[in-house]
Structure 1
């Protein structure tokens, strides 16, 4: 099976969640099948595995509407896109589109890195569910990364197509904290600072955590930083890193007391499983998606209660509590792997080829009548 991956959502500097998801899947599936990639900028190759590639237009270009005419000439057996927005008009190949979450229906603020016209279309797109249905129903199979998102898709009747789970997973090169190394008093937050991420409650929860330091690792605008600085309790320490490298992130994970996230909405929550894979305990919002990903290993708290967050951090200082949480996290992370995800994707690709063949056969039959 010749699989063509749409890798045009790969970042140019360092991965975000979707960029890492696509690159990791490509690497895992390339060990099992004939794989090639679509890219829109040669610089993307620095963050992608060494497999054959084809340079085409950006997925944000108006020409995306007609991208299928280019792909048709490549004669793939199946095309995999890690997003749901790939143009499909006139396609002659099986197609798997991916929907990660439904966050932006309840939280309509678009990502800031998108161009202004795209942000405007983003808001319009998420005013109703029918545009999403229109896109997803143009695929042969729809993939998603969690059972939580799959259930939401079912609840909102987003597609008539088969929906298959193709899970996220921790990095394959995650370094596990050596046994017997005591944790620091560092608390890590990795994620954006959009309102639904609820970083305000984490910052407020630092009240009473004398000696602890909260590290906010991601890039942040000056205005958003000023908003959060005003919320830091007197005498407490919060460090704004404004971005860290993968190496720096792994180093901080291996020594931290905990990774913390009180996000109210996620499609998966990759930092949760990354921290667990490193042996670092996780304090997370008590939501269905974090329960799914973190299992019994995470410490769950009410995302609207700063004092519950404070108490959870303090509980890790109890004798043997931190070690138990670390061991449980490593066991939970072991239930996810890119090898498993590659198998799931190949199953989805096989179903897509059958679905596509069936629809083409039905179309030919109807035209004869």
Structure 2
């Protein structure tokens, strides 16, 4: 289990292949290639070099969403013919699990959270979960809220996530915001119990990302009955289906309208917290991954005969919620 980087054990991989092993690579996303503007300049070329070697070396790929499969295929089609690999790489998506395992009933919630997440706030309390980076759309959510406040609204924005862009203008904008501690709140150290409580109390989760490979907070929110306002990306529709509400990516005015209208539309809230939503846990996710690996291995090397007991354990990937029209 290794992340990409200069210390990736390519020699060991080649040695294993020379002894008959099949090599599969799990791909979370290709954001450094498709959206380099969101990646540190010093990481772009190393990632592309790593990916080029994956394409030359791997026997198959497993991705965390069907959208990533589409991204890989699109990148491969866009290459000049002379640069394309002679063999198509078999690919399959598996299902990530979702469960806040660190939650226990006796864990205390810090008083500050109890106060600011009060569901009686007239304008609602809106939650963002995930590392604070420019790609995640925190600036857009701030702009949407600023429009609401300028019009006399009373929405609160709660950010839960670590700083992923130290020294960035986005961090300065949040930390120096005139409404910080009044309408804007940033927590970088919530435990699982506190995060779970926030999901249950929030008016909605806002995820305004411009690029994702999956976006687990959507599933975590819906699993807690928390409505989701998501930027309209293919992967968000794949994950959230009919249970989330979508706004055009990069449009703060559209998000502001969703937030403003949300308290007056209880039907929308009940729609996004349908009891029919269910997502696999991490045990089921492992089974989904195992099934994908076994099937891809047999596709690459038909003479392979995976152990019957492993095949019996591998259950089909759960059906996704139907995508919204």
Could you tell me which residue of structure 1 aligns to residue 133 of structure 2?
A: 194
For 1:171-182, list aligned pairs within 5 A.
Answer: 171=99, 173=101
Secondary structure, counterpart of 2:145 in structure 1: coil
CA contact (8 A) 2:129 2:217 kept: yes
Could you tell me which residue of structure 2 aligns to residue 83 of structure 1?
A: none
CA contact (8 A) 1:144 1:166 kept: yes
Secondary structure, counterpart of 2:92 in structure 1: strand
Secondary structure, counterpart of 1:250 in structure 2: helix
TM-score calculated relative to the size of structure 1: 0.63
Could you tell me which residue of structure 2 aligns to residue 94 of structure 1?
A: 22
**Pair 1:123-2:68 in alignment:** no
Of 324, 331, 339, the residue aligned with 2:276 is 331
CA distance in 2, matches of 1:292, 1:355: 26
Of 88, 91, 101, the residue aligned with 1:163 is 91
CA distance change for structure 1 residues 232 and 164 in 2, over 3 Å: closer, same or farther?
farther
CA distance change for structure 1 residues 234 and 190 in 2, over 3 Å: closer, same or farther?
closer
How many residues are paired up? 272
Secondary structure, counterpart of 2:10 in structure 1: helix
**Pair 1:105-2:33 in alignment:** yes
Could you tell me which residue of structure 1 aligns to residue 253 of structure 2?
A: 307
Could you tell me which residue of structure 2 aligns to residue 66 of structure 1?
A: 11
For 1:194-343, list aligned pairs within 5 A.
Answer: 194-207=133-146, 208-209=148-149, 210-220=153-163, 221=166, 223=168, 224-229=170-175, 237-318=183-264, 320-321=266-267, 323-328=269-274, 330-332=275-277, 334-343=278-287
TM-score calculated relative to the size of structure 2: 0.71
CA distance change for structure 1 residues 91 and 195 in 2, over 3 Å: closer, same or farther?
farther
The Cα shift of 1:138 comes to 1.7
CA contact (8 A) 1:259 1:281 kept: yes
5+ residue gaps in structure 1?
1-5, 10-58, 73-88, 113-118, 176-180, 361-369
Instruction: String of CA shifts for 1:157-200, please: whole Å, max 9, x gaps.
Output: 2872210111223116598xxxxx96763211112232222211
The Cα shift of 1:91 comes to 5.8
CA distance change for structure 1 residues 245 and 105 in 2, over 3 Å: closer, same or farther?
same
CA distance in 2, matches of 1:61, 1:100: 18
Instruction: String of CA shifts for 1:5-60, please: whole Å, max 9, x gaps.
Output: x2x55xxxxxxxxxxxxxxxxxxxxxxxxxxxxxxxxxxxxxxxxxxxxxxxxx75
For 1:130-141, list aligned pairs within 5 A.
Answer: 132-141=51-60
CA distance in 2, matches of 1:183, 1:289: 33
**Pair 1:146-2:65 in alignment:** yes
CA contact (8 A) 2:203 2:226 kept: yes
Question: What root-mean-square deviation, in Å, do the aligned CA atoms of Structure 1 and Structure 2 show?
Answer: 3.4
The Cα shift of 1:264 comes to 0.7
CA distance in 1, matches of 2:101, 2:58: 33
CA contact (8 A) 2:223 2:279 kept: no
Highest relative contact order (Cα 8 Å, sep 6+), 1 or 2?
A: 2
CA distance in 2, matches of 1:146, 1:205: 29
The Cα shift of 1:326 comes to 4.3
The Cα shift of 1:294 comes to 0.9
